Amino acid sequence: MFKKILFFFGTWVSINLILMLSCSEAFISYYGVGLNLITIPCAILITYIYYKLTGKGKDDFEDNGIPDTTIDKEIESDKDIDIFLEEVRKCSNELAEDIIAEDYSISVPESTEDGLKVGEEIFEELKKTTLSIIRIITDSCHQESFLALLRKASNTFGEPDSYIFNFKSMLIKDISMSFDEMGYIGKMTHSTAHGLSLYIITRVLTDYDAGDDYSFKKLKMDMSDDFYRKFCMDNVRKRMEVYNHVDNEAALIDGREDFRLIIAFAIWKDEVTEYLRMLLFRLNQLIVKSDGKISIKEKTWLKQILKNQESLEVLYTDNEGRPMPKQAKKEWIEKAEQIIGALKQTRKKVSKKEVVQNTEVSKSSIDELNELIGLSETKKEITTLSNYIQMKLKRDEMGMKSPNLSLHCVFTGNPGTGKTTVARILAGIYKEMGLLKKGHLVETDRSGLIAEYVGQTAVKTNKKIDEALDGVLFIDEAYSLVQGAKSDYGPEAIATLLKRMEDDRDRLVVIVAGYTKEMEDFINSNPGLQSRFNRYIHFEDYTAEELLKIFLLNTDKHEYKLADDVKEFLLKKLEEVVANKPKDFGNARYVRNLFEKTVEAQANRLALEPKISKELLVEIKKEDIL
């Protein structure tokens, strides 16, 4: 079957090349992708005639009486194994027909009426194909013979669910490899057709609501909600980061990179391996099709996917296409065992915390800023500052005059509004622009700067400033430095700070933060502070809807899920809290405390249950919200 597809694909590419060489540039430019209406049917017709005349069109999966020597004997005892493989053969044949009949000339609009870069037709096909891959992985992992081979290869006694999770991780890594091969670098965002295709695939793979119930309407809702987008893409990054530790040498077939998922399944049934390859080919085909164009790189990669399978067939079958004895496939099986064995090693070497940290490093600071919940005005201010700095640096490069720039900032707002988080992001922005060498953040407050005895405050303050050199010093509740008694050493700390800000102006950025009125009084208390801090960035309190998103972020992070009637109930509770909030309202801190109390209440409720299931441990009910 793969030879048919490869023959068709090669014929289609050849016809296109002949047209490009024989026709004028004006002709090609005028008809564009419309030529595919001629070339694709021609390629199908030539493929059909060739296989009809040569008699090579027999079903690749037809039982020819030759035993599959790559399968261990215990497979015979698997429950419904014959039914399972018959379904694989049937689906494989149907999919091959879809692949050959694929129409690349479809006109895809730049965006739908909702601004989406992918239409409903492509969405449904991506979802259908991804679900097919998940089902074949799931069904395989529940076959006792395959499970035994996985346990042997990984040297663990894992349950099916753990292997299913790891195979999904392989799939995400394989899709990432396809993006690199097809030249989609920089396009892995929801604002491009290819990036949105990746989102759809990973959403089906990772979210609770995914599967048959995930609809185009839900995709529209996702794209209008920063929280769901961030949650899904964070899951993608974590899984991709985990699988980055697998030996890439094991993914090379005949010198070319191949899908890890395909190689991992090589220890089992050949029918399943070939069907998975066709599904992955189909998935790549749909990603290519999502923007209505096909490039040389995309054609080359699609052809390589099929070529890899042909290479395997040449390497591991005899001249008549029959499977060779198992020892002839030893090299391939060793690669499969190496990849599967790496699953155990990876989960030991890479902790969840390390994965999150590594993921954050790979993102730009502006991306991190935009992924934060709420803070729309704050984001605008930081983005404006970033753009202004970029233009100033450009003017400096060209020898043009530009105003002096102060990087020091005053952050004002109530507790829990993200001031420390944004300060850390701003430090990263300064580093990325080359303004700071390290770009780290050192947090402190009054207690970290003022000492108890005469002459010690300057020493203590200087020590803290030394820690922050080449980065950002963040002073929380900075107004408390001038709110002490007359004999207090706050003025000494301020004097030391001002001197170091001048002496180390190229190596030190200072951000002071606190309540709005108190911070204004603090800056106005000293002319030196007024001259150095002239950029104010205000942090608004979160709305009830934003606080709900923060709560949901905590539930997903810790693997909890709200019961159906809880979300609306929680929103009303938060609306009441926001409407009657005190001056020192804790915002995100309030939500974190509420989440912790909710989890404790759930634990007390479940302690009375005679039998605890996974579903009970996940679900949060109304009575848990205190």
Reading phi first (left if > 0) and then psi (alpha if -120 to 50, else beta), residue 80 is in left
Percent of the chain predicted with pLDDT > 90: 13
Q: Could you tell me the pLDDT band of residue 412, with boundaries at 50, 70 and 90? A: very high
Structural tokens at position 61:
């999966």
Question: Is the Cβ–Cβ distance between 404 and 534 less than 8 Å?
Answer: no
- Write down the pLDDT at residue 252: 52
Residue located via tokens 């694989």: 88
Orientation angle between helical segments 120-141 and 216-223, nearest 10 degrees: 100
Contact 8, 47 (CB under 8 A): yes
For residue 90, being part of any structural domain is answered with no
Residue 462 is predicted with a pLDDT of 92
Please name the residue that has the structure tokens 């004006």: 26
Domain that holds residue 198: 111-356
Percent with pLDDT over 70 in the chain: 71
Cα dihedral 606→607→613→615 (10° resolution): 20
189 plus 307 within the same structural domain: yes
Residues written for the chain: 626
The answer to the question of residue 81 being in a domain is no
Q: Token digits for 436?
A: 């700071």
User: Could you tell me which residues come within 8 angstroms of residue 294 by beta carbon, excluding any fewer than 6 positions away?
Assistant: 104, 288
Rg over alpha carbons for the chain, rounded to the nearest Å, is 30
Question: What does DSSP assign to residue 515?
Answer: -
88-100 mean pLDDT: 70
pTM more than 0.85: no
Domain closes at, from 356, 384, 410 = 356
What is the four-CA torsion angle of 125, 130, 135, 138, rounded to 10 degrees?
Answer: 180
**314 plus 168 within the same structural domain:** yes
| Alpha-carbon distances of 342 from 10, 153, 154, 158, 269, rounded to whole Å | 36, 9, 7, 14, 21
Q: Note every long-range contact of 136-139, with CB atoms under 8 Å and residues 24 or more positions apart, other chains counting.
A: 136/88, 136/272, 136/275, 136/276, 136/279, 137/164, 137/167, 137/168, 137/171, 137/261, 138/164, 139/84
pLDDT for the residue numbered 554: 87
Same structural domain for residues 348 and 486?
A: no
Range 126-130, long-range pairs (CB < 8 A, 24+ positions): 126/197, 126/200, 126/201, 126/204, 126/283, 126/286, 126/287, 127/200, 127/204, 127/214, 129/279, 129/282, 129/283, 129/286, 130/200, 130/201, 130/204, 130/205, 130/283
Residues 217 and 257 in one domain: yes
In sequence order, which residues have a C-beta less than 8 Å from that of residue 74 and are 6 or more positions away?
Answer: 144, 145, 148
Give domain status of residue 82, yes or no: no
Q: Are residues 296 and 416 in the same domain?
A: no
Would you say the C-alpha torsion 184, 190, 192, 198 has a positive or negative sign? positive
Q: Which tokens hold the place of 139? A: 């069904």
- Overall average pLDDT of the 458-482 stretch: 91
Q: Of the candidates 324, 356, 388, which is a domain's last residue?
A: 356
pLDDT-derived band at 523 (thresholds 50, 70, 90) equals very high
Return the residue matching tokens 């961030």.
Answer: 230
Q: How many CB atoms lie within 10 A of CB 466?
A: 12
CATH number for the domain including 382?
Answer: 3.40.50.300
pLDDT > 80? residue 389: yes
CA–CA separation, 384 and 371 (whole Å):
17
Do 413 and 528 belong to one domain? yes
Is the pLDDT at 308 greater than 90? The verdict is no
580 and 517 assigned to the same domain:
no
Residue 21: phi, psi to the nearest 5? -80, -30
The reply to whether 29 falls in a domain is no
**Sign of the Cα pseudo-torsion (373, 376, 377, 381, in order):** positive
With respect to residue 453, please indicate whether it lies within any of the assigned structural domains: yes
Asked whether residue 571 falls in the same domain as residue 423, the answer is no
Tokens describing residue 74: 């215990």
- Could you tell me if 262 and 115 lie in one domain? yes
Q: Kindly report the average pLDDT of the chain as a whole number.
A: 76
Mean pLDDT over residues 167-185, rounded? 80
Q: Please count the structural domains in the chain.
A: 3
145 lies in the same domain as 160: yes
- What whole-number distance in Å separates Cα of residue 185 and Cα of residue 305? 19
- Residue 284 CB neighbour total at 10 angstroms: 23
- Is residue 443 one of the residues assigned to a domain? yes
What is the CATH number for 554?
1.10.8.60
Query: Are 328 and 418 contained in the same domain?
Result: no
Mean pLDDT of 497-526: 91
Would you give the DSSP letter of residue 610? S
Q: Which residue has the higher pLDDT, 312 or 38?
A: 38
The pLDDT confidence band at residue 471, using thresholds 50, 70 and 90, is very high
For residue 397, name the pLDDT band (cuts at 50, 70, 90). Answer: confident
Give me the residue label for tokens 């030539």. 46
The SS3 assignment for 72 reads coil
Closest CA to 376 of 535, 545, 598: 545
Q: How far apart are CA 270 and CA 280, in angstroms?
A: 15
Within 13 Å and on the Cβ side, how many CA atoms surround 347? 13
**What one-character-per-residue DSSP string does 380-401 give?**
HHHHHHHHHHHHHHHHHHTT--
Would you say residue 244 has pLDDT above 50? no
Given the structure tokens 């059909």, which residue do they identify?
48
Q: Is residue 80 part of a domain?
A: no
Instruction: Convert the pLDDT of each residue in 29-44 to its tens digit.
Output: 666 666 777 778 887 8
As a whole number of angstroms, the distance between CA 136 and CA 87 comes to 10
pLDDT of res. 43: 79
Per-residue pLDDT tens digits for 576-624:
888 988 766 788 888 888 999 999 998 998 888 888 888 888 888 988 8
User: Is 50 exceeded by the pLDDT of residue 524?
Assistant: yes
As a whole number of angstroms, the distance between CA 526 and CA 484 comes to 15
Q: Do 497 and 551 have their domain in common?
A: no
CA distance 483 to 517: 13
Is 213 inside any structural domain?
yes
CA distance 222 to 456: 55
Higher pLDDT, 172 or 344: 172
CB 441 within 8 A of CB 472: yes
pLDDT in tens, 315-361: 555 555 555 444 445 555 666 666 666 654 444 343 333 333 333 33
Last-in-domain residue among 539, 560, 595: 539
pLDDT, position 235: 61
